[in-house]
């Protein structure tokens, strides 16, 4: 489990690297939940987790576009 957790942290950091200040708590928590859900069903390889994280970030950003300002 430690290896999986380390992979998840690595992917989260890499995904959020492009965001200002590495992403705020809300976006990081959203992506982390998606990574945890993915790992629970057996998707634990770096490539798989990377895909999940990038999709989660895109979903999060898409959803933010429709929030009232």
Q: Per residue of the chain (69 residues), give pLDDT as tens.
A: 799 999 999 999 999 999 999 999 999 999 999 999 999 999 999 999 999 999 999 999 998 755 544
State pTM to two decimals. 0.87
CA distance 2 to 48: 17
Domain boundaries of the chain, sorted by first residue: 2-65
pLDDT at 66: 52
- Opening angle at CA 24, ends 18 and 25, nearest 5: 130
């Amino acid at each position: 489990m430690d290896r999986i957790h380390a992979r998840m942290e690595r992917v989260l950091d890499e995904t959020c690297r492009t965001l200002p200040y590495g992403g705020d708590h809300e976006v990081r928590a959203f992506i982390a939940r998606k990574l945890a859900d993915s790992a629970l069903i057996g998707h634990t390889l770096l490539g798989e987790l990377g895909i999940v994280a990038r999709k989660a970030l895109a979903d999060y950003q898409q959803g933010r576009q429709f929030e009232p300002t």
